[in-house]
Structure 1
Amino acid sequence: MSYKQTVRLSIILMALFPTLWGLFSFMNNTSGFSGTAQYAVAPLLSMSDTYGNPAQTWRAITSPMAANIFLAIITAIETLAGLLGLWSIFKLLKAFKDTPKAFEDAKSPLVLSCVLAILVWGVGFAVIAGDYFLAWQSKTTLATQIGGLIYAIPCFLTLILAVIHKE
Protein backbone atom coordinates (compact mmCIF):
# COMPACT_ATOMS: atom_id res chain seq x y z
CA MET A 1 0.00 0.00 0.00
CA SER A 2 1.36 3.40 -0.93
CA TYR A 3 1.82 6.27 1.50
CA LYS A 4 -1.06 8.15 -0.12
CA GLN A 5 -3.38 5.16 0.34
CA THR A 6 -2.23 4.67 3.92
CA VAL A 7 -3.06 8.26 4.81
CA ARG A 8 -6.40 8.04 3.03
CA LEU A 9 -7.22 4.83 4.88
CA SER A 10 -6.24 6.50 8.16
CA ILE A 11 -8.70 9.33 7.51
CA ILE A 12 -11.46 6.84 6.71
CA LEU A 13 -10.78 4.85 9.87
CA MET A 14 -10.60 7.98 12.02
CA ALA A 15 -14.03 8.92 10.65
CA LEU A 16 -15.35 6.04 12.74
CA PHE A 17 -15.03 8.20 15.89
CA PRO A 18 -17.80 10.74 15.20
CA THR A 19 -19.73 8.22 13.13
CA LEU A 20 -20.02 5.39 15.64
CA TRP A 21 -20.33 7.64 18.69
CA GLY A 22 -23.06 9.62 16.98
CA LEU A 23 -25.00 6.54 15.88
CA PHE A 24 -24.54 4.71 19.19
CA SER A 25 -25.63 7.85 21.05
CA PHE A 26 -28.81 7.86 18.97
CA MET A 27 -29.45 4.22 19.89
CA ASN A 28 -28.73 4.78 23.57
CA ASN A 29 -30.60 8.06 23.90
CA THR A 30 -33.72 6.88 22.11
CA SER A 31 -33.90 3.46 23.77
CA GLY A 32 -33.72 4.95 27.25
CA PHE A 33 -34.84 8.51 26.61
CA SER A 34 -37.02 9.10 29.67
CA GLY A 35 -34.51 7.48 32.03
CA THR A 36 -31.60 9.46 30.61
CA ALA A 37 -33.61 12.68 30.81
CA GLN A 38 -34.69 11.95 34.39
CA TYR A 39 -31.49 10.49 35.86
CA ALA A 40 -28.72 12.20 33.89
CA VAL A 41 -29.90 15.44 32.30
CA ALA A 42 -32.39 16.71 34.89
CA PRO A 43 -29.97 16.45 37.86
CA LEU A 44 -27.30 18.22 35.82
CA LEU A 45 -29.62 21.06 34.78
CA SER A 46 -31.02 21.44 38.31
CA MET A 47 -27.44 21.53 39.63
CA SER A 48 -28.47 19.13 42.41
CA ASP A 49 -24.99 17.62 42.72
CA THR A 50 -23.09 20.89 43.18
CA TYR A 51 -21.80 22.58 46.31
CA GLY A 52 -25.14 24.42 46.51
CA ASN A 53 -23.73 27.94 46.47
CA PRO A 54 -26.72 30.25 45.76
CA ALA A 55 -24.40 32.70 43.99
CA GLN A 56 -23.90 29.93 41.41
CA THR A 57 -27.05 27.81 41.50
CA TRP A 58 -29.35 30.67 40.49
CA ARG A 59 -28.81 29.49 36.91
CA ALA A 60 -30.23 26.02 37.57
CA ILE A 61 -33.06 24.90 35.32
CA THR A 62 -35.72 22.91 37.15
CA SER A 63 -38.52 22.84 34.59
CA PRO A 64 -39.75 19.25 34.14
CA MET A 65 -39.72 19.64 30.34
CA ALA A 66 -36.20 21.12 30.18
CA ALA A 67 -34.42 17.78 30.49
CA ASN A 68 -36.47 16.35 27.63
CA ILE A 69 -35.81 19.38 25.44
CA PHE A 70 -32.09 19.42 26.17
CA LEU A 71 -31.77 15.66 25.58
CA ALA A 72 -33.69 15.96 22.31
CA ILE A 73 -31.28 18.68 21.14
CA ILE A 74 -28.25 16.66 22.23
CA THR A 75 -29.61 13.55 20.51
CA ALA A 76 -30.32 15.45 17.29
CA ILE A 77 -26.80 16.89 17.13
CA GLU A 78 -25.14 13.57 17.99
CA THR A 79 -27.27 11.76 15.40
CA LEU A 80 -26.49 14.32 12.72
CA ALA A 81 -22.77 13.97 13.50
CA GLY A 82 -23.10 10.20 13.14
CA LEU A 83 -25.05 10.37 9.88
CA LEU A 84 -22.65 12.90 8.35
CA GLY A 85 -19.76 10.68 9.44
CA LEU A 86 -21.38 7.65 7.83
CA TRP A 87 -22.02 9.59 4.64
CA SER A 88 -18.39 10.73 4.64
CA ILE A 89 -17.12 7.16 5.02
CA PHE A 90 -19.11 6.09 1.95
CA LYS A 91 -17.89 9.10 -0.02
CA LEU A 92 -14.29 8.58 1.08
CA LEU A 93 -14.37 4.88 0.19
CA LYS A 94 -15.80 5.73 -3.22
CA ALA A 95 -13.03 8.31 -3.77
CA PHE A 96 -10.28 6.12 -2.27
CA LYS A 97 -8.51 5.52 -5.61
CA ASP A 98 -9.74 8.68 -7.27
CA THR A 99 -7.98 12.01 -7.77
CA PRO A 100 -6.74 14.13 -4.87
CA LYS A 101 -9.54 16.64 -5.63
CA ALA A 102 -12.22 13.94 -5.44
CA PHE A 103 -10.87 12.66 -2.12
CA GLU A 104 -10.59 16.21 -0.78
CA ASP A 105 -14.21 16.93 -1.71
CA ALA A 106 -15.32 13.67 -0.07
CA LYS A 107 -13.96 14.93 3.26
CA SER A 108 -16.56 17.74 3.53
CA PRO A 109 -19.20 15.77 5.46
CA LEU A 110 -16.45 14.42 7.72
CA VAL A 111 -15.38 17.94 8.62
CA LEU A 112 -19.00 18.85 9.45
CA SER A 113 -19.41 15.63 11.42
CA CYS A 114 -16.33 16.39 13.51
CA VAL A 115 -17.37 19.99 14.13
CA LEU A 116 -20.81 18.90 15.36
CA ALA A 117 -19.24 16.21 17.53
CA ILE A 118 -16.81 18.71 19.04
CA LEU A 119 -19.63 21.19 19.64
CA VAL A 120 -21.89 18.71 21.43
CA TRP A 121 -19.26 16.78 23.40
CA GLY A 122 -16.54 19.41 23.81
CA VAL A 123 -18.55 22.60 24.11
CA GLY A 124 -21.81 21.05 25.33
CA PHE A 125 -20.61 18.48 27.84
CA ALA A 126 -17.14 19.67 28.85
CA VAL A 127 -17.77 23.42 28.84
CA ILE A 128 -21.48 24.16 29.27
CA ALA A 129 -22.40 21.16 31.46
CA GLY A 130 -19.00 21.19 33.12
CA ASP A 131 -18.64 24.86 33.94
CA TYR A 132 -21.98 26.59 33.46
CA PHE A 133 -23.95 23.86 35.24
CA LEU A 134 -20.96 23.09 37.49
CA ALA A 135 -20.66 19.37 36.75
CA TRP A 136 -17.06 19.66 37.93
CA GLN A 137 -18.45 20.12 41.45
CA SER A 138 -20.12 16.69 41.40
CA LYS A 139 -19.65 14.94 44.70
CA THR A 140 -19.82 11.49 43.14
CA THR A 141 -18.40 11.65 39.61
CA LEU A 142 -16.75 13.85 37.04
CA ALA A 143 -18.10 11.69 34.21
CA THR A 144 -19.85 14.53 32.38
CA GLN A 145 -16.75 16.60 31.69
CA ILE A 146 -14.35 13.70 31.33
CA GLY A 147 -16.79 11.81 29.12
CA GLY A 148 -17.29 14.86 26.94
CA LEU A 149 -13.54 15.26 26.51
CA ILE A 150 -13.04 11.55 25.85
CA TYR A 151 -15.51 11.86 22.97
CA ALA A 152 -14.40 15.29 21.74
CA ILE A 153 -10.62 14.80 21.59
CA PRO A 154 -10.54 11.97 19.00
CA CYS A 155 -13.06 13.92 16.91
CA PHE A 156 -10.86 17.00 17.18
CA LEU A 157 -7.84 14.95 16.09
CA THR A 158 -9.87 13.54 13.19
CA LEU A 159 -10.84 17.07 12.18
CA ILE A 160 -7.21 18.18 12.25
CA LEU A 161 -6.11 15.18 10.17
CA ALA A 162 -8.86 15.74 7.62
CA VAL A 163 -8.19 19.47 7.31
CA ILE A 164 -4.39 19.41 7.12
CA HIS A 165 -4.25 16.42 4.77
CA LYS A 166 -3.22 17.62 1.31
CA GLU A 167 -1.93 15.60 -1.58
Structure 2
Amino acid sequence: MYTTEKIERICKIIFVAMFSFYISIVALNNITDYNSNYEFVKHVMLMDTTFKNNELLWRSISFSQIHRISYIFLIAYEIVTAILGWVGTFYMIKNYRECSNYFHTSKRCAIISLMLNLVMWFFAFNTIGGEWFLMWQSQQWNGVGVARPMFVAIAIVFLYITRKDDEI
Protein backbone atom coordinates (compact mmCIF):
# COMPACT_ATOMS: atom_id res chain seq x y z
CA MET A 1 0.00 0.00 0.00
CA TYR A 2 1.22 3.45 -0.87
CA THR A 3 1.26 6.12 1.81
CA THR A 4 0.56 9.74 0.97
CA GLU A 5 4.29 10.40 1.35
CA LYS A 6 5.15 7.73 -1.23
CA ILE A 7 2.50 8.99 -3.64
CA GLU A 8 3.87 12.53 -3.34
CA ARG A 9 7.38 11.24 -4.01
CA ILE A 10 6.13 9.46 -7.13
CA CYS A 11 4.44 12.71 -8.23
CA LYS A 12 7.67 14.65 -7.68
CA ILE A 13 9.63 12.11 -9.69
CA ILE A 14 7.07 12.25 -12.50
CA PHE A 15 7.14 16.07 -12.57
CA VAL A 16 10.94 16.16 -12.77
CA ALA A 17 10.96 13.45 -15.45
CA MET A 18 8.33 15.33 -17.50
CA PHE A 19 10.31 18.54 -17.20
CA SER A 20 13.54 16.75 -18.14
CA PHE A 21 11.86 15.19 -21.16
CA TYR A 22 10.48 18.57 -22.21
CA ILE A 23 13.78 20.44 -21.99
CA SER A 24 15.53 17.53 -23.72
CA ILE A 25 13.13 17.88 -26.66
CA VAL A 26 13.66 21.65 -26.71
CA ALA A 27 17.44 21.17 -26.88
CA LEU A 28 17.11 18.40 -29.48
CA ASN A 29 14.84 20.58 -31.63
CA ASN A 30 17.31 23.45 -31.43
CA ILE A 31 20.15 21.16 -32.49
CA THR A 32 18.36 19.25 -35.27
CA ASP A 33 16.47 22.28 -36.65
CA TYR A 34 19.21 24.77 -35.92
CA ASN A 35 18.23 27.43 -38.45
CA SER A 36 14.60 27.85 -37.38
CA ASN A 37 15.37 29.01 -33.88
CA TYR A 38 18.64 30.63 -34.89
CA GLU A 39 16.52 32.96 -37.05
CA PHE A 40 14.43 33.68 -33.98
CA VAL A 41 17.48 34.63 -31.89
CA LYS A 42 18.96 36.65 -34.76
CA HIS A 43 15.81 38.70 -35.39
CA VAL A 44 15.22 39.33 -31.70
CA MET A 45 18.78 40.65 -31.35
CA LEU A 46 18.52 42.65 -34.58
CA MET A 47 15.28 44.21 -33.33
CA ASP A 48 14.26 44.49 -36.98
CA THR A 49 10.59 43.77 -36.37
CA THR A 50 10.03 46.05 -33.36
CA PHE A 51 8.05 49.27 -33.62
CA LYS A 52 9.40 51.65 -36.25
CA ASN A 53 11.29 54.78 -35.14
CA ASN A 54 11.95 53.11 -31.81
CA GLU A 55 14.22 55.16 -29.52
CA LEU A 56 15.77 51.97 -28.13
CA LEU A 57 17.08 50.51 -31.39
CA TRP A 58 20.61 51.36 -30.23
CA ARG A 59 20.36 48.12 -28.23
CA SER A 60 20.20 45.98 -31.36
CA ILE A 61 23.13 43.72 -32.19
CA SER A 62 23.89 43.20 -35.85
CA PHE A 63 26.96 40.96 -35.54
CA SER A 64 26.05 37.45 -36.73
CA GLN A 65 28.87 36.00 -34.62
CA ILE A 66 27.17 37.30 -31.48
CA HIS A 67 23.86 35.81 -32.66
CA ARG A 68 25.52 32.41 -33.18
CA ILE A 69 27.40 32.49 -29.88
CA SER A 70 24.21 33.45 -28.04
CA TYR A 71 22.24 30.66 -29.70
CA ILE A 72 24.94 28.05 -29.07
CA PHE A 73 25.11 29.18 -25.44
CA LEU A 74 21.33 28.82 -25.18
CA ILE A 75 21.46 25.28 -26.60
CA ALA A 76 24.32 24.33 -24.25
CA TYR A 77 22.36 25.80 -21.34
CA GLU A 78 19.31 23.71 -22.29
CA ILE A 79 21.47 20.58 -22.54
CA VAL A 80 22.94 21.20 -19.08
CA THR A 81 19.49 21.73 -17.56
CA ALA A 82 18.23 18.55 -19.26
CA ILE A 83 21.16 16.48 -18.00
CA LEU A 84 20.78 17.82 -14.47
CA GLY A 85 17.05 17.07 -14.64
CA TRP A 86 17.66 13.47 -15.71
CA VAL A 87 20.34 13.02 -13.04
CA GLY A 88 17.90 14.43 -10.50
CA THR A 89 15.20 12.05 -11.70
CA PHE A 90 17.62 9.13 -11.39
CA TYR A 91 18.62 10.01 -7.81
CA MET A 92 15.03 10.59 -6.78
CA ILE A 93 14.05 7.16 -8.12
CA LYS A 94 17.09 5.58 -6.50
CA ASN A 95 16.24 7.11 -3.10
CA TYR A 96 12.48 6.77 -3.37
CA ARG A 97 12.27 4.40 -0.36
CA GLU A 98 14.77 6.24 1.84
CA CYS A 99 13.98 8.47 4.83
CA SER A 100 12.56 11.92 4.23
CA ASN A 101 15.85 13.82 4.68
CA TYR A 102 17.73 11.47 2.37
CA PHE A 103 15.07 11.67 -0.33
CA HIS A 104 14.98 15.45 0.00
CA THR A 105 18.77 15.61 -0.42
CA SER A 106 18.52 13.45 -3.55
CA LYS A 107 16.53 16.25 -5.25
CA ARG A 108 19.55 18.58 -5.48
CA CYS A 109 20.24 18.12 -9.21
CA ALA A 110 16.55 18.39 -10.02
CA ILE A 111 16.25 21.61 -8.01
CA ILE A 112 19.32 23.11 -9.71
CA SER A 113 17.94 22.10 -13.12
CA LEU A 114 14.58 23.68 -12.44
CA MET A 115 16.19 26.84 -11.06
CA LEU A 116 18.44 27.16 -14.12
CA ASN A 117 15.40 26.78 -16.33
CA LEU A 118 13.52 29.44 -14.38
CA VAL A 119 16.48 31.75 -14.99
CA MET A 120 16.34 30.93 -18.70
CA TRP A 121 12.62 31.64 -19.09
CA PHE A 122 12.51 34.72 -16.87
CA PHE A 123 15.92 36.34 -17.36
CA ALA A 124 16.89 35.27 -20.90
CA PHE A 125 13.46 35.32 -22.54
CA ASN A 126 11.42 37.84 -20.51
CA THR A 127 14.11 40.25 -19.36
CA ILE A 128 16.78 40.15 -22.06
CA GLY A 129 14.64 39.13 -25.06
CA GLY A 130 11.35 40.64 -24.00
CA GLU A 131 12.46 43.92 -22.47
CA TRP A 132 16.04 44.64 -23.53
CA PHE A 133 15.54 43.62 -27.17
CA LEU A 134 11.82 44.55 -27.05
CA MET A 135 10.72 41.16 -28.34
CA TRP A 136 7.19 41.92 -27.11
CA GLN A 137 6.88 44.53 -29.89
CA SER A 138 7.42 42.00 -32.66
CA GLN A 139 4.49 40.31 -34.35
CA GLN A 140 6.70 37.60 -35.85
CA TRP A 141 9.54 37.00 -33.35
CA ASN A 142 7.80 37.27 -30.00
CA GLY A 143 8.52 34.49 -27.50
CA VAL A 144 7.15 36.31 -24.45
CA GLY A 145 3.79 34.56 -24.85
CA VAL A 146 5.53 31.22 -24.41
CA ALA A 147 8.12 32.30 -21.85
CA ARG A 148 5.72 33.57 -19.21
CA PRO A 149 3.52 30.47 -18.91
CA MET A 150 6.64 28.27 -19.04
CA PHE A 151 8.12 30.25 -16.17
CA VAL A 152 4.92 29.86 -14.14
CA ALA A 153 4.61 26.12 -14.86
CA ILE A 154 8.22 25.42 -13.95
CA ALA A 155 7.96 27.65 -10.86
CA ILE A 156 5.03 25.57 -9.63
CA VAL A 157 7.01 22.35 -10.15
CA PHE A 158 10.02 23.98 -8.46
CA LEU A 159 7.95 24.95 -5.40
CA TYR A 160 6.41 21.49 -5.20
CA ILE A 161 9.73 19.66 -5.61
CA THR A 162 11.57 21.76 -3.03
CA ARG A 163 8.94 21.05 -0.40
CA LYS A 164 10.04 18.40 2.09
CA ASP A 165 7.82 15.37 2.60
CA ASP A 166 6.85 16.41 6.13
CA GLU A 167 5.98 20.03 5.27
CA ILE A 168 2.35 21.04 5.07
State if a TM-score over 0.5 links the two structures: yes
Contact 1:44 1:129 in 2 (8 A): yes
Q: Can you give the 5+ residue segments of structure 2 that lack an aligned partner in the other structure?
A: none
**2:63 paired residue number:** 63
Question: Kindly tell me: are residues 17 and 135 of structure 1, through their superposed partners in 2, closer, same or farther at Cα, counting changes over 3 Å?
Answer: farther
The one-letter amino acid of 1:155's match is I
Contact 2:50 2:138 in 1 (8 A): yes
The one-letter amino acid of 1:164's match is R
Alignment partner of 1:127 is 2:127: yes
Q: Can you give the 5+ residue segments of structure 1 that lack an aligned partner in the other structure?
A: none
Distance in 1, matches of 2:140 and 2:75, equals 25
Q: 1:37-116 to 2 correspondence within 5 Å?
A: 37=38, 39-116=39-116
Alignment partner of 1:7 is 2:17: no
Question: Kindly tell me: are residues 153 and 16 of structure 1, through their superposed partners in 2, closer, same or farther at Cα, counting changes over 3 Å?
Answer: farther
Distance in 1, matches of 2:127 and 2:164, equals 28
Post-superposition offset of 1:18: 3.3
**1:150 paired residue number:** 149
Q: TM-score, normalised by structure 2?
A: 0.91
1:137-165 deviation per Cα after TM superposition (whole angstroms, max 9, x unaligned): 013464x0111123222211111112223
Instruction: Give the aligned CA root-mean-square deviation in angstroms.
Output: 1.5
**2:33 paired residue number:** 32
Amino-acid identity (%): 19
Contact 2:135 2:144 in 1 (8 A): yes
Post-superposition offset of 1:54: 4.2
